[in-house]
Structure 1
Amino acid sequence: MEVGIVAQRGNARAARIADGIRDRLRADGVTVRLDAATAADLSHSGDPIETFDRSDLVVSIGGDGTFLFAARGAGGTPILGVNLGEVGFLNAVDPDDAIDAVAAEAAAIADGTAEIREAPRLSATVGDWTSDAATNEVLVQGNRRGPGAGIDFETRVDGSLYSSGHADGVLIVTPTGSTAYNLSEGGPIVHPDVRGLLITEMCATGGMPSLFVDQDATITVTVTGTDRAIVASDGRLTHPIEPPAEVTITRSDPPLRIAGPTGDFFEALGKLS
């Protein structure tokens, strides 16, 4: 049994919790690995986050941003989130309960009794390039936003034209990501148990309202009207493209796998107000 731990960088409390979890798991006979930044905070040796897909469980200690970082390396490995953030849609474990909760989840995974939830992730393809998997959203955007910037676009769903016009960009969003960038751009909130994907245009002229489509739909965004644009995964990993270009967004495998207790989605929503 092996558990990987990722703590929010520069957060002393997160590092202390990570150290406590590490000590408890090692006492239970579990192999523990720390990501490089967490290990540095604790003066231990660490491993690249990209290798955590070899673990049986990944523990994220921090806010949703830390969870997204952990998800980049977890692959299909279940992730348990300890919430040190303000809202915590992805993190359901209270920090005061973290050591016992992680130990219990590790034991449940080891004996095959853990209940793991799945959520879709997305990938974008342009030519022979494919993005890393996105937990929240894929963004297709001009090189900058604002007056005189943006992209001309056509958005198609399974080959059928849905919308066209001019916009700062287009977001393709999972239910998990509906409360993130999508919400700030005026997109609707989607309950995480609903299966589908959102298309939300950013400051569009001549566009359409947000559209919810089947999670297995193939969405293409054709970009023209500018000499430079980008594709971004979860707001972190960006890739430049040279229009005219066609970006294809589909559900990717493996899905996000979430371990541990289920948080109260509506309680977390209340923290947004």
Structure 2
Amino acid sequence: MDVAVGIVAQRDNERAQELAETLVETLERADDTAAVVVDEATGTAIGREHVPVAAMADRDLVVSIGGDGTLLFVAREVGSTPILGVNLGEVGFLNAVTPADAVSVVTDLVATLRETGDIEGRELARLRASGDDWTLEPALNEIVVHGPRRGRGGGVTVETRVDGEHYAESHADGVLVATPTGSSAYNLSERGPLVHPAADTLVVTQMAAANAMPPLVVDPDAEITLAVSGADTAYAISDGRTRRELEPPATVEVSVADDPVTLVGPQANFFDGLEKLE
């Protein structure tokens, strides 16, 4: 079968763009491989055919070149399309492939797709936040609900319920709900626990709460309700990017989204990544 590949390089990163060009040239030389496309910024930089990243959702494989932030962006745009992460960052919990190995790994995956039509991957849960008449784009790391600003005088009162049962209520900077993937991101900076990526859980962590409860690990099927009050404005935010302004009192429902992210190729070593955390 023909194999359609999309390549996304970290914006304004010459090293990422050069690797993208090398991958395009390599794949175009291979027999029986469908045309390869790159994202718009990369295509402009290297003079190649390009499409919006969202248009890569119908590809057989998308290669993300950069740090975890680049992969998060790609995941938001292409949904469940298989993604391979090439790591140009420092920690790389999501990107397992080194630049030196990228060509061989990508060509091997394409060969497998051409021969079998499928490649094995690991599914990563995403979170969905919704209100009465809105839903945020799914989050691979975390959903955050916080007040008008962080710090003294800027918080909000949040009551947290899990499957309808009261867990905590406090004036706080906010509350975040993280996936195992996101446990090492914003959750960790708010003193939440590290969760092994193979664990099937979610984490609820209060942020600088006046009457704090310990972070809570819950079943992924749990329905988490965050009732917000005590401020003129609050926000629900997905992976630090997509936000919804709230007018308290307001309620945000958080649950696992229907469409996970699929990572393919070699998987990052979780414990190696921990050694690089500051």
Which residue in 1 is equivalent to 2:99? 95
CA RMSD, 1 decimal: 1.1
CA distance in 2, matches of 1:104, 1:69: 25
Which residue in 2 is equivalent to 1:164? 169
Q: Following superposition of structure 1 onto structure 2, how do residues 80-91 of structure 1 map, counting pairs within 5 Å?
A: 80-91=84-95
Q: Following superposition of structure 1 onto structure 2, how do residues 46-85 of structure 1 map, counting pairs within 5 Å?
A: 46-85=50-89
CA distance in 2, matches of 1:112, 1:34: 22
Which residue in 2 is equivalent to 1:8? 10
Task: Give the length in aligned residue pairs.
Answer: 273
* 2:219 is the counterpart of 1:214: yes
Q: Identical aligned pairs, as a percentage? A: 51
Q: Following superposition of structure 1 onto structure 2, how do residues 1-273 of structure 1 map, counting pairs within 5 Å?
A: 1-28=3-30, 29-110=33-114, 111-112=116-117, 114-273=119-278
Runs (4+) of structure 1 exceeding 4 A deviation are: none
CA distance in 2, matches of 1:126, 1:135: 19
Query: Secondary structure in 1 aligned to 2:151?
Result: coil
TM-score (norm 1): 0.97
Which has the larger displacement, 126-135 or 45-54? 45-54
TM-score (norm 2): 0.95
CA distance in 2, matches of 1:212, 1:175: 10
CA distance in 2, matches of 1:220, 1:19: 46
CA distance in 2, matches of 1:167, 1:52: 40
Deviation at residue 89 of structure 1 after TM alignment: 0.4
Structure 1 residues without counterparts, runs of 5 or longer: none
Which has the larger displacement, 79-88 or 20-29? 20-29
Which has the larger displacement, 236-245 or 37-46? 37-46
Deviation at residue 269 of structure 1 after TM alignment: 0.8
8 Å Cα contact 1:136/1:178 also seen in 2 = yes
Structure 2 residues without counterparts, runs of 5 or longer: none
CA distance in 1, matches of 2:63, 2:185: 21
